[in-house]
Amino acid sequence: MNTPVMNTPALPGPLADNPRLERWVTFPAPGKVIVGTGRVELGQGVLTAMTQIAADELDVAMERITIRSGDTEFTPNEGYTAGSQSIQFGGVAMRQACADVRSLFIDQAARVLGCKTSELSICDGGILHNGVPTGQDYWTLAGAVDLAAEATGGGKRKTVADFNVIGRSSARLDLPAKIFGAAVFIHDLVLDGMLHARVVRQPNRGATIDAIDERAIKRAAKAPVEFVRNGNFLAIVGADETAVDLAGAAAAKYVIWQHVETPTPLQAEASWLRQRPVIDRIIGAPEPADPQGRVRFESTYTRGYLAHASISPSCGLALYHDGRLTVWTHCQGVFPLRAALARTLSLDASAITVHHVQGSGCYGHNGADDAAADAAIIAMKMPGVPIRVRWRREEEFVYEPKSPAMVVKVRALLDDAGKPADWSAEIWSGTHNYRPGAGGNLLGAQALPNPPPEPPPGDVPESHGGGATRNGEPLYDIAHKRIIHHLVTETPVRTSALRGLGAMPNVFAIECAIDELAERAGQDPVQYRLSITVDPRARAVIEKVAAMAGWEAGESGGAGRGRGIAFARYKSRAAYAAVVVALDVEETIRLRHVWCATDAGLVVNPDGVINQLEGGIIQSASWVLKEQVRFDDGVSSFDWETYPVLKFSEVPEIDIALINTKDEVPLGVGEVTAGPTAAAIGNAVSHALGARIRDLPLTRERIMATLLKE
Amino acid sequence: MTKKYEFTVNGRPVSVSLDNEEAPLLNVLRNNLGLMGTRFGCGLEQCGCCMVLIDGAPEKSCSKPVWSIIGKSVTTVEGLGTPEHPHPLQQAFIDEQAGQCGYCLAGILISAQALLARNPSPTRSEIAQALDDNICRCGSHNRIIRAIEKAAARMGAGAIS
Ligand code: FES
Ligand code: FES
């Protein structure tokens, strides 16, 4: 049998998955364009960038475009908005969809006007013939162009030289409403007849309700509330939000649970992972048994559990009516959530609609999916009544999935020049992927009668950049590299995706180790890195950031003042970033200045990219200086006092340079600075103290202990 | 038992009837008056999302019982300015693209307004310190500080001319 010969170019993945053009672009009314994207706004500015992309490829003004995002009814299914992939993949799909649409309209215009397509162009939606307006435009032709057609990839995307909108800074479309205090967040959504709800959380899977003092809880509410119960899932529902809040707080005392498990302080430490059951694998060739006379270097680095600590607790709304469930959520993937809800509630996915509404920044898999599921579970018990669940602050901290603690042990064999010839990273970590789309259970589902089984242990596959192994391998020119991955199969708390997944602890380990090796070799950290790097884009960001920071080789540290550098290419295949940090250390660390050079390929919205890079640097600095989820008779980091984050007066000044913005492929930047910032701080602290701290966070206690040892 | 509470919000007298005398001002603003700009972040007076001015002083509204503000004057972010007539701070936040998710901004704008009212030309570190009661998890801090510097400069120039 002959295979048919295809001449059309391969469609970008998300477009191949969602080929009907009307999911991407429609022309609903004269002068108006609706663009659909499966990616959702998480505060990263993705909808502004997508609007820029569509405006450029369609040749219409940005103002004409309304963007629809993350909606199981209307938009393409692009899985999760995560991993800094929205623009890299979703953006290219959007470009191609728009180019295909544009070319269908040019073809139709040529037929109507009786001319060649090569004589036609488009300016703000109007068709020009040899540069002269023809009276035809997208909207006059729309009736004759069938956008239910599938994309072919036949439309020619613009080249970088032809871009008018892509590559220029555009003000964020969503910011003004937020600055004027408009109702834009899911928390602001009010549905007719809506009731407020709070969940009395099951402390852990397997815990069962022993007793409920309903009268005491109702008394505490000071206004009418009702209980909704399904197995060990218990919620308090009422018209008055204050009442459900008061009742929810009282429930801590008046609902008694059995089979409660509480994690201990020891379990909060990464080192605890070393003694746990694991699933092992090696990525790369096995480690040589004999160092063959070469010097062996070994060093171990750790990081504790982190919280996403979104500024707002999660929120979800749901309505079950006439056999249909409608859910409003700020989660990162409406289609995977729909599938998980269908599983959990024994509904057909086609009977569920999930709408995305913006929440506060989430930085990964926080409580958003679970809050939506809570609302859905309650709504199923109260048909016809819209239910709004908003988690309490403590609930978000205690029950959101955490970023897993990690241990990273680096081993290297050094050549005569003190450069690594063989490199191993041995990694212990829980999973970085308990997303509903990866089979993870929705939190409320665990409390239902016959809770679904736990999914088999796993982590993000290497094809998706890896989870604990993400950035586990240095980009440097080292003849033999490998990762030994110990997936810890049970952790004391649920763990899942946080900004960069394993990249932060891994880059911290690698880049601190590289500094340790440079010091052994008696070389400057910048020079040493350059001496083992051929990739020109990597060299460029390292050289650029060194120049920005006025880096001088051999500058002596000590006396509490230090500076450090670090570098990584995110996932070893996405954006490049190098970071220099200048800081002072006394009992605590004061960040003075951070410089960052990034190569993110084609940049759609330069100011938007810089904004995200700054955010990534500050968040990483906060993780490194302050953050660890503690356990003490349960999760004892439950508010902003027990889980402090970087304050305004602790934030350093930041300078950012974007280089090589001419490239064709855009590379996401939300996660690229996390690792380099962490390691540059670690290296700067070592430069300042003359001693190294290998365990994160770099707390006052650890600094004092290090100083005392010296 | 339903009780009536009277106070002023953004220059307008309001009267709300509440069953729950424990209701914090934040819930009343959002659920009874439909003013969604003031946001819930913690309910514990720790994050600043719910910041409002009460008789000109910055206060967290999430734990402030509504009875305690009877007869007082409350200003929320909606009272600062509108898209047609933005407050200089709001204009400067837009100019500097100060924000990522934007959830923290309403509370921060209120804190900034209170700062500029008592110190029209604050230094960078004075601004930072004045905002230490507000958390921004997205890392928009430097842009926010720059926007406040810019607004202060513009307002100062306006006062002189
Ligand atoms: S909500 Fe009031 S301070 Fe956080
Ligand atoms: S912009 Fe998201 S918390 Fe400040």
Query: Nearest-5° angle of CA A621, CA A400, CA B26?
Result: 85
The partner residues of A329 in beta bridges, in order of sequence, read A316, A356
Q: Are B47 and B134 in contact (CB under 8 A)?
A: yes
CA-based nearest distance A492→chain B, Å: 25
Q: Are A229 and A236 in contact (CB under 8 A)?
A: no
Q: Are A505 and A409 in contact (CB under 8 A)?
A: no
Q: What is the 3-state secondary structure (H, E, C) of A498-563?
A: ECCCCHHHHHHHHHHHHHHHHHHCCCCHHHHHHHCCCCHHHHHHHHHHHHHCCCCCCCCCCCCEEE
CB-count burial class (<10 Å; 0-12, 13-18, 19+) for A293: exposed
Q: What is the 3-state secondary structure (H, E, C) of chain B?
A: CCEEEEEEECCEEEEEEECCCCCEHHHHHHHHCCCCCCCCCCCCCCCCCCEEEECCEEEECCCCEHHHHCCCEEECHHHHCCCCCCCHHHHHHHHCCCCCCCCCHHHHHHHHHHHHHHCCCCCHHHHHHHCCCCCCCCCCHHHHHHHHHHHHHHHHHHHHC
- Which residues does ligand 2 sit against, CB inside 6 Å? A 43, 311, 360-361; B 99-104, 136-138, 140
Cα→Cα distances A95→A39, A59, A121, Å:
14, 12, 17
B110 and B64 within one domain: no
The partner residues of A300 in beta bridges, in order of sequence, read A409
* Paired tokens of A547: 């120049």
Count of helix runs (H) and strand runs (E) in chain A: 16, 25
Residue B154 alpha carbon to ligand 2 centre in Å: 24
What distance in Å separates the CA atoms of residue A372 and residue A358, rounded to the nearest whole number?
13
What distance in Å separates the CA atoms of residue A403 and residue A701, rounded to the nearest whole number?
23
CATH of the domain at B150: 1.10.150.120
Closest CA to ligand 2's atom 4: B136
In a domain, B161, yes or no: no
Say whether A172 and B47 touch across the interface (CB within 8 A): no
B60 and B11 within one domain: yes
CB-count burial class (<10 Å; 0-12, 13-18, 19+) for A495: buried
pLDDT at position A557 is 83
What distance in Å separates the CA atoms of residue A573 and residue A84, rounded to the nearest whole number?
12
Angle between helices A674-689 and A606-626 in degrees, nearest 10: 50
- Is the CB of A307 inside 8 Å of chain B's CB atoms? no
Residue with tokens 């998890």: B137
User: Domain A406-432+467-709 maps to which CATH number in 3.40.50.10860, 3.30.1540.10, 3.40.640.10, 3.30.365.10?
Assistant: 3.30.365.10
In a domain, B131, yes or no: yes
Q: Which of A363, A498, A648, A672 to mutate to test the interface with B (most CBs of B within 10 A)?
A: A648
Q: Are A179 and B99 in contact (CB under 8 A)?
A: yes
Q: Residue length, chain B?
A: 161
Closest alpha carbon to A505 in A643, A650, A623, A629 = A623
* In chain A, domain spans: 13-174, 193-260+314-390, 406-432+467-709
Residues 350-369 (A) with a CB less than 8 A from some CB of B: 358-361, 363
pLDDT along chain B (161 residues), means of 10: 93 94 94 98 98 98 96 98 97 98 98 97 97 98 98 79 37
Residue finishing a domain among B26, B44, B79: B79
Angle between helices A700-709 and A674-689 in degrees, nearest 10: 40
pLDDT at position B158 is 60
Query: Residue A685: CB partners within 8 Å, gap ≥ 6?
Result: A562, A564, A583, A585, A589, A692, A693, A698, A703
B69 and B93 within one domain: no
Q: How many CB atoms lie within 10 A of CB A609?
A: 28
B99 and B55 within one domain: no
Peptide bond preceding A697 in cis form (omega within 30 of 0): yes
Kind plus residue range of the DSSP H or E element containing A590: strand A589-599
Strand, coil or helix: A113: helix
Class for domain A13-174, per CATH?
alpha beta
CB-count burial class (<10 Å; 0-12, 13-18, 19+) for A540: middle
pTM of structure: 0.95
In a domain, B92, yes or no: yes
B101 and B72 within one domain: no
Closest alpha carbon to A316 in A223, A395, A404 = A395
B72 and B20 within one domain: yes
What value does the CA radius of gyration of chain B take, rounded to a whole number of Å?
16
What DSSP string runs through A183-246? Answer: S-SGGG---TT-EEEEEE--SSTT-EEEEE-HHHHHHHHSS--EEEEETTEEEEEES-HHHHHH
Closest alpha carbon to A49 in A606, A648, A473, A470 = A606
CATH of the domain at B50: 3.10.20.30
The partner residues of A69 in beta bridges, in order of sequence, read A37
Distance of CA A75 to the CA centre of its chain: 21
Q: How many CB atoms lie within 10 A of CB B14?
A: 16
Query: Residue A51: CB partners within 8 Å, gap ≥ 6?
Result: A35, A62, A65, A67, A170, A173
B123 and B63 within one domain: no
Closest alpha carbon to A578 in A612, A547, A556 = A547
Pair type for strands A120-123 and A126-129: antiparallel
Do A13-174 and A406-432+467-709 have matching folds?
Answer: yes
Q: Are A499 and A364 in contact (CB under 8 A)?
A: yes
pLDDT at position A8 is 54
Q: Which atom of ligand 1 is nearest to the CA of B40?
A: 1
Closest alpha carbon to A572 in A544, A538, A536, A604 = A538
The ipTM of this complex is: 0.97
Pair type for strands A278-283 and A233-238: unpaired
Q: Are B7 and B70 in contact (CB under 8 A)?
A: yes
Distance of CA B45 to the CA centre of its chain: 14
pLDDT at position A666 is 84
What distance in Å separates the CA atoms of residue B136 and residue A649, rounded to the nearest whole number?
12
Residue finishing a domain among B79, B106, B124: B79
pLDDT at position A12 is 87
B55 and B97 within one domain: no
Residue B40 alpha carbon to ligand 2 centre in Å: 13
Closest to B36 (Cβ–Cβ): which among A179, A181, A611? A181
- Is the CB of A314 inside 8 Å of chain B's CB atoms? no
**Per CATH, domain A193-260+314-390 is 3.10.129.10:** no
Cα→Cα distances A427→A131, A377, A407, A486, A696, Å:
61, 38, 6, 6, 15
**Residues of chain A contacting B123 with CB distance shorter than 8 Å:** none
Residue finishing a domain among B45, B61, B79: B79
Strand, coil or helix: A55: helix
Positions in chain A whose pLDDT score sits under 70: 1-9, 83-84, 661, 710
Residue with tokens 């990522």: B100
Q: Are B106 and B35 in contact (CB under 8 A)?
A: no
Q: What's the domain range around B132?
A: 88-156
Kind plus residue range of the DSSP H or E element containing A170: none
pLDDT at position A3 is 41
In a domain, B95, yes or no: yes
Per-residue exposure over A8-20, b if at least 16 CB sit within 10 Å of its own CB, e if not = eeebbebbeebbe
Residue A201 alpha carbon to ligand 2 centre in Å: 27
In a domain, B67, yes or no: yes
Best residue for ligand 2 mutational test, from B138, B143, B145 (most atoms within 8 Å of Cβ): B138
Q: Are B42 and A393 in contact (CB under 8 A)?
A: yes
Q: Which atom of ligand 1 is nearest to the CA of B41?
A: 1
Q: Per the structure, how many domains does chain B have?
A: 2
